[in-house]
């Protein structure tokens, strides 16, 4: 019996070892299969990422001539010289002519320029949108390009004139329509053109045109478009142009120090207010950075400017020091000026938390009288 017990024990032990080995073998096989699945999944993810990258490259290459224009403008923006001289270098060399105010805005704030590729009409071919982004990350779209028979074509633009009061913007809708609006800030009157993008890649068709009072109106409603049909451009995937470099730490430090004298440190910040023009009320938000960057928003329409310093011209009164021909719209939000044989200078009066926007006007051959600003001033508060 003892011998039998030992033999049984050996048999049972051997069976246990075999069972254990068999179990280990099966587990090992399962792990190997799992590894293969992970490798296959990883390989699939890499392939998918490559496909997306290649697709994005092709979509961008379809608008190569437009990107070439922006490369030119951003390169010129880095050079020395007056803004009007830079504009003169750019406009004759653009493959796709654009409004000079769009160019001036870009030159004033090159680092704010962005682009997005988005299929507005859902036909599988993306349109190219260009825009300027403000400090609060809101988007002002400056252009929409579409493919007309395989060629990039400019359809609509957005800009705020530095003087003269001309304004332009456009809305995008989910049904593939684009509403281009142009108006005068002085009268508030303008014209709207509604276009339909072509599903087959042909020319966009103008389907409606109306003269209407733009200021104070819901342009979408005027053209029978519901608010939920409008594309939210702020939510699109906006990207930086390749030519825009990340500022160095030294540049960031220099920018943070600013150009404002200590007694005007209160000028930096966000100022708000309202002004009535032609029985309409405009809501204004003006943000001034210590480095001289100015962004203004008037009823949702943004503009940007830059000043290089300030000069005191009276008690608590200063003029902006800017480059000749620089873009000045953001310095004088809601105040449109223009004329033949006259010149303008821009500034402000700062009294505590009250900022009065000032414009001085003089004949081209006469010096400015800084004791007599134009009467149409704007008062903002912090």
Q: How many domains does the chain have?
A: 2
For residue range 316-367, list pLDDT tens digits in order: 999 998 765 456 778 887 766 555 577 888 899 999 999 999 988 888 788 8
Q: Residue 360's domain is classified under what CATH number? A: 2.40.128
123-132, 299-308, 309-318, 323-332: least confident range: 323-332
For residue range 234-261, list pLDDT tens digits in order: 999 999 998 675 544 444 444 445 678 8
Within this chain, do residues 221 and 298 fall inside the same structural domain, yes or no? no
Domain assignment present for 7:
no
Within this chain, do residues 368 and 226 fall inside the same structural domain, yes or no? no
Within this chain, do residues 232 and 267 fall inside the same structural domain, yes or no? no
Within this chain, do residues 154 and 300 fall inside the same structural domain, yes or no? no
Domain assignment present for 112:
yes
On whether the CB atoms of residues 354 and 381 are closer than 8 A, the answer is yes
Question: Residue 29: which H helix or E strand, with range?
Answer: helix 2-61
Tell me the pairing of strands 301-306 and 293-298: antiparallel
pLDDT at 281: 78
Domain assignment present for 185:
yes
Within this chain, do residues 77 and 226 fall inside the same structural domain, yes or no? yes
For residue range 92-118, list pLDDT tens digits in order: 999 999 999 999 999 988 999 999 999
Residue with tokens 């988007």: 139
Domain assignment present for 51:
no
Q: What are phi and psi of 188, to 5 degrees?
A: 80, -5
Within this chain, do residues 154 and 273 fall inside the same structural domain, yes or no? no
Of the residues 240, 274, 294, the one at which a domain ends: 240
Within this chain, do residues 69 and 214 fall inside the same structural domain, yes or no? yes
Q: What pTM value is reported for the model?
A: 0.60
**Nearest C-alpha neighbor of 331 from the set 365, 279, 284:** 284
Within this chain, do residues 302 and 175 fall inside the same structural domain, yes or no? no
Domain assignment present for 194:
yes
pLDDT at 279: 61
Of the residues 240, 273, 307, the one at which a domain ends: 240
Domain assignment present for 91:
yes
Within this chain, do residues 322 and 361 fall inside the same structural domain, yes or no? yes
**Nearest C-alpha neighbor of 24 from the set 32, 40, 354:** 32
CA pair distance 18, 128, nearest whole angstrom: 68
**Nearest C-alpha neighbor of 191 from the set 221, 212, 163:** 212
Domain range for residue 282? Answer: 256-381
Helix, strand, coil % over all residues of the chain, rounded to 5: 35, 35, 30
Domain assignment present for 126:
yes
Domain assignment present for 4:
no
Within this chain, do residues 170 and 270 fall inside the same structural domain, yes or no? no
CA pair distance 262, 380, nearest whole angstrom: 21
Neighbours of 209 (CB within 10 A): 11
Token pair of 147 as six digits: 């493919």
Whether residue 312 is predicted with pLDDT greater than 90 in this model: the reply is yes
Within this chain, do residues 104 and 193 fall inside the same structural domain, yes or no? yes
Within this chain, do residues 99 and 211 fall inside the same structural domain, yes or no? yes
Of the residues 240, 271, 305, the one at which a domain ends: 240
């Amino acid at each position: 019996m003892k011998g039998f017990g030992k033999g049984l024990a050996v048999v049972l032990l051997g069976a246990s070892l075999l069972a254990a080995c068999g179990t280990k073998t099966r587990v090992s096989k399962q792990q190997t299969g799992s590894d293969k699945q992970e490798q296959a999944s990883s390989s699939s993810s890499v392939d998918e990422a490559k496909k997306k990258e290649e697709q994005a490259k092709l979509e961008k290459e379809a608008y190569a001539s437009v990107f070439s224009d922006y490369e030119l403008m951003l390169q010129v923006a880095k050079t020395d010289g007056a803004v009007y001289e830079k504009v003169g270098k750019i406009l004759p060399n653009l493959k796709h002519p654009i409004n000079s105010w769009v160019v001036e805005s870009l030159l004033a704030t090159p680092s704010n320029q962005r682009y997005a590729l988005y299929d507005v009409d859902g036909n599988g071919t993306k349109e190219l949108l260009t825009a300027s982004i403000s400090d609060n990350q809101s988007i002002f779209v400056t252009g929409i390009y579409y493919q007309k028979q395989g060629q990039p074509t400019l359809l609509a633009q957005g800009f705020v004139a530095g003087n003269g009061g001309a304004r332009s913007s456009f809305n995008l809708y989910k049904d593939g329509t684009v509403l281009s609006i142009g108006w005068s800030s002085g009268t508030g009157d303008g014209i709207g053109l509604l276009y339909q993008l072509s599903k087959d890649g042909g020319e966009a068709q103008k389907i409606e045109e109306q003269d209407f009072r733009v200021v104070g109106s819901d342009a979408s409603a005027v053209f029978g478009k519901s608010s939920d049909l409008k594309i939210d451009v702020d939510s699109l995937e906006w990207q930086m142009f390749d030519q825009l470099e990340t500022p160095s730490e030294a540049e960031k430090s220099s920018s943070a120090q600013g150009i404002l004298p200590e007694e005007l440190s209160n000028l930096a910040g966000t100022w708000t207010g309202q002004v009535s023009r032609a029985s309409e009320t405009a809501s204004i938000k003006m943000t001034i950075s210590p480095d001289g960057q100015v962004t203004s928003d008037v009823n949702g329409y943004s503009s940007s400017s830059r000043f290089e310093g300030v000069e005191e011209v009276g008690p608590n009164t200063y003029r902006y020091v800017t480059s000749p021909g620089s873009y000045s719209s953001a310095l004088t939000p809601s105040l449109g000026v223009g004329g033949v044989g006259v010149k303008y200078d821009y500034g402000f009066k700062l009294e505590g938390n009250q900022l009065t926007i000032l414009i001085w006007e003089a004949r081209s051959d006469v010096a400015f009288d800084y004791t007599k600003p134009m009467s149409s001033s704007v008062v903002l508060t912090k």
